[in-house]
A and B are shown apart, each in its own frame.
Chain A
Amino acid sequence: MNDIPAEGAACPAPCAKPVLDVRRLRKSFGARKAVRGVDIAVCPGEIFGFLGPNGSGKTTTMRMLCGLLTPDGGEGHALGHDIIRESRHIRLHVGYMTQHFSLYADLTVRENLLFAARVHGLPRPARKVEQTIHELGLGAYADELAGHLSGGWKQRLALAASTLHDPHLLLLDEPTSGVDPAARRRFWDDIHALARRGMTVLVSTHYMDEAERCHRLAWFYEGRILACGGVDDIITGSGLVALEAAGEPETLTVLQRTVQAALPAAQCTWMGEKLHISVPKELRDRAECLCREYGAECATTRPRMEDVFIHLVRIQDHAAEKAEAAS
């Protein structure tokens, strides 16, 4: 795990026939390398998360998968079609929900859905729309302008519009940003319901906690995948362990500085009144020693996704520096 190859972590699918299988996907915008070699394979009915900070290549990758952008390099298949040569065929069976609300604010809910239904060439669009409105409980809002809906309802509407044609593959680009927690939970329940019906879902987010709702996820950083797999696999695979130190604030402040000075590989951060320390397995004893030395109570806890991410980023940046120094 400590050695991340230049192309990023491999991401093999845990099934024989992945719905989506792309390799070495690359894309630059001018001098900026947005995606520098991404491998992804996703199984039918899987909810696959793209996790990573802004500008890490999540959106660009997604746009390449649905034919909105042409990759500079790489190859692969989605839904049995070549992603470069046959993107038009893929698009027929893909639902894409963009990062920002991208339905028409000056059309009503019903009009927006009708447009989506017609564009996808559904037979009897009006009937399908009424059915969808009913299913999603949008009935009360059917004749509201979409622009007047609350954030949560807008998201539900956008989801409805992008799943109206029963796509085989659903791409959701940061669907829950700016949505309140209750609406977010309901949204995720909807996504899981869709996946159980056999729809394959790719969802990007920068909320760490949302990652746990995905079956598997790929961690994007600077156009590469740092880690890939289920949340537990990633945490275990990172080789990190975590401690929680409790005590007087003054004591913990000193402890924080000491740990950071003594163990550069450790991360030490405040969680409420406690200090959360994560270290690579082999440094666990030394960290515990320091805790006891300063008279702090020390308990084992689960490493957080954040810890893993920062840990991996450090390794990556370190490797990049070394490569630069070598050349």
Chain B
Amino acid sequence: MSRTNAARPEAPREISIMGKGGRMPGLRAFLLCLHAMVVKEFLQLLRDRVTLALIVMIPLMELVLFGYAINMNPRHLPLAVLSADNSPAGRAFVQALANTRYFDIRRLVRSEEEAETLIRSGKAQFILQIPPGFTRDVYRGLRPKLLLLADATDPVATGSAVSAVSQLAIRTLGHELAGPGRHLLAGEPPFQVVVHQRYNPAQETAINVVPGIVGIILTMTLLIFTAMAVTREVERGTMEYLLATPLTPVEIMLGKIAPYIIVGFVQMVIVLTAGHVLFGVPVVGSLALLVALTMLFIVTNLALGYTISTLARTQLQAMQMAFFIMLPSILMSGFVFPFAGMPGWARFLGEFLPLTHYLRIIRGILLKGASWADVRAEALALAVIMLTVMIVAVHRFRRTLD
């Protein structure tokens, strides 16, 4: 008889957690169950290294960007001087401008065309025009006019700089006019500064923001769509099926990207139409050029998303990696905060973001009527980013199953 007992498993002893009714009553049971669940969640979280790394990196990145890179009161805005009068008073004023630290004197230009090109392509945000015979007219008490041409597409960027300039005229020439011209310092300022706000004279923020929105929306949706595209197939097990078909990696990639190109254009049309109708955003330049370069931008984003998708193992990771690119895109591209106002390292990093270049392109074309020649450099930068990313994507994809 004893042998039979040995063959069967022993009846389980009463487990201590269980009460007589089968479950411990009250708070203690609740806490024990909660504890079990919390421990399990933590274990799963700790196991996902990528998520864990991003949990640490994203707040740090945000802190650094907001703390060091972003400047709501931007300084060192690029200014070009078109001087027809290389004389002491003109030079003194230019020096005074530099001393405000609102402006960086980037270059001296010789012709109006050159100045025009600089401001249209965004290489200069301000042009200072010193008229011929400026010093002479100051001494004669004619109160000559200096023309400050401001690219007002981004009112936030130019606003405080412009107001700083208006104050300058009163104080600048104190040193030069000491002596014989002393009487000029009394009363009215010795010369006038005329500020000419170009492109967005009413300083409507919407004019600047709407083109930016196009860039942001395209970045957000396309990056996330494609970032998920491959990971979803891997997670659902359909990637194995795809790879066993005669499809090549390039075919799979292009096939996945193509539908979203249309999605991108639909979004652009929606935002621009609404922007035009509701906020009166102008279309100064060539729409065909904009469409062509938007195509380039869309494909760049899709390739970037696709690369993320080959790096991430799960859809969750893909989402976070996409966020890791989107955050700096929003903050460092010049979308909300003026690009020129960021410190050098931040501007350098910003140049690697596709959105930075696209914003210059779309704002240039829509608001300033920029031509191909004006945006060629930006388009080239986008193309380089796109090619690099695509090569990485195709290269990474081939190795997914091995």
Nearest CB in chain A: distance from B61 CB, A: 32
How many angstroms between the C-alpha atoms of A101 and B246 in the bound complex? 19
Q: Can you list 9 contacts pairing A with B, beta carbon distance less than 8 Å?
A: A63-B401, A68-B243, A68-B401, A98-B237, A102-B237, A102-B241, A119-B246, A253-B4, A254-B3
Any chain A CB within 8 A of the CB of B245?
Answer: yes
Any chain B CB within 8 A of the CB of A92?
Answer: yes
Any chain A CB within 8 A of the CB of B28?
Answer: no
Any chain B CB within 8 A of the CB of A85?
Answer: no
How many angstroms between the C-alpha atoms of A104 and B401 in the bound complex? 19
Any chain B CB within 8 A of the CB of A9?
Answer: no
- Contact indicator B401/A102 (Cβ below 8 Å): no
Tell me which residues across on chain B come within 8 A of A63, comparing CB atoms.
401
- Contact indicator B238/A120 (Cβ below 8 Å): no
How many angstroms between the C-alpha atoms of A137 and B402 in the bound complex? 37
* Total chain B interface residues with beta-carbon distance under 8 A: 16
How many angstroms between the C-alpha atoms of A70 and B243 in the bound complex? 13
A102's contact among B1, B4, B238, B246, by CB below 8 Å, is which?
B238
- Contact indicator A66/B244 (Cβ below 8 Å): yes
- Contact indicator A94/B402 (Cβ below 8 Å): no
- Contact indicator B236/A98 (Cβ below 8 Å): no
Any chain B CB within 8 A of the CB of A103?
Answer: yes
**Interchain pairs with CB closer than 8 A, number:** 49
Tell me which residues across on chain A come within 8 A of B4, comparing CB atoms.
249-250, 253
- Contact indicator B246/A121 (Cβ below 8 Å): yes
Tell me which residues across on chain B come within 8 A of A120, comparing CB atoms.
245-246
- Contact indicator B401/A96 (Cβ below 8 Å): no
A69's contact among B236, B238, B246, B401, by CB below 8 Å, is which?
B401
- Contact indicator B3/A91 (Cβ below 8 Å): no
Tell me which residues from 194 to 250 in chain B have a Cβ below 8 Å from any Cβ of chain A: 236-238, 240-241, 243-247
A89, closest chain B residue (CB):
B246
How many angstroms between the C-alpha atoms of A67 and B244 in the bound complex? 7
- Contact indicator A100/B237 (Cβ below 8 Å): yes
- Contact indicator B238/A91 (Cβ below 8 Å): no
Any chain A CB within 8 A of the CB of B7?
Answer: yes
Any chain B CB within 8 A of the CB of A88?
Answer: yes
Tell me which residues from 373 to 402 in chain B have a Cβ below 8 Å from any Cβ of chain A: 401-402
How many angstroms between the C-alpha atoms of A92 and B244 in the bound complex? 9
Nearest CB in chain B: distance from A256 CB, A: 9
Chain A interface helix/strand/loop/mixed: loop
- Contact indicator A92/B236 (Cβ below 8 Å): no
A98's contact among B1, B241, B247, B402, by CB below 8 Å, is which?
B241
Tell me which residues from 77 to 103 in chain A have a Cβ below 8 Å from any Cβ of chain B: 88, 91-92, 94, 96, 98-103
How many angstroms between the C-alpha atoms of A116 and B244 in the bound complex? 11
How many angstroms between the C-alpha atoms of A105 and B1 in the bound complex? 57
How many angstroms between the C-alpha atoms of A121 and B237 in the bound complex? 23
- Contact indicator B241/A253 (Cβ below 8 Å): no
A91's contact among B240, B241, B244, by CB below 8 Å, is which?
B244
Nearest CB in chain B: distance from A115 CB, A: 9
Nearest CB in chain B: distance from A46 CB, A: 21
Tell me which residues across on chain B come within 8 A of A66, comparing CB atoms.
244
- Contact indicator A92/B240 (Cβ below 8 Å): no
- Contact indicator A91/B245 (Cβ below 8 Å): yes
Given A68-B401, A69-B402, A253-B4, verify A91-B246 contact (CB < 8 Å): yes
How many angstroms between the C-alpha atoms of A116 and B1 in the bound complex? 64
How many angstroms between the C-alpha atoms of A319 and B245 in the bound complex? 41
Given A68-B401, A69-B401, A249-B4, verify A104-B245 contact (CB < 8 Å): no
Tell me which residues across on chain A come within 8 A of B7, comparing CB atoms.
253
Tell me which residues across on chain B come within 8 A of A67, comparing CB atoms.
244
Tell me which residues from 4 to 43 in chain B have a Cβ below 8 Å from any Cβ of chain A: 4, 7
- Most chain B beta-carbon contacts within 10 A, residue among A96, A102, A116, A253: A102
B245, closest chain A residue (CB):
A119
Tell me which residues across on chain A come within 8 A of B401, comparing CB atoms.
63, 68-69
- Contact indicator B241/A96 (Cβ below 8 Å): yes
Closest 6 CB pairs of A and B: A96-B244, A102-B241, A100-B237, A102-B237, A119-B245, A98-B240
- Contact indicator A92/B246 (Cβ below 8 Å): yes
Nearest CB in chain A: distance from B393 CB, A: 20
Tell me which residues across on chain A come within 8 A of B245, comparing CB atoms.
91, 116, 119-120
How many angstroms between the C-alpha atoms of A306 and B212 in the bound complex? 68
- Contact indicator B237/A101 (Cβ below 8 Å): yes
Given A91-B246, A120-B245, A120-B246, verify A102-B240 contact (CB < 8 Å): yes
Tell me which residues across on chain B come within 8 A of A100, comparing CB atoms.
237
Tell me which residues across on chain B come within 8 A of A249, comparing CB atoms.
4
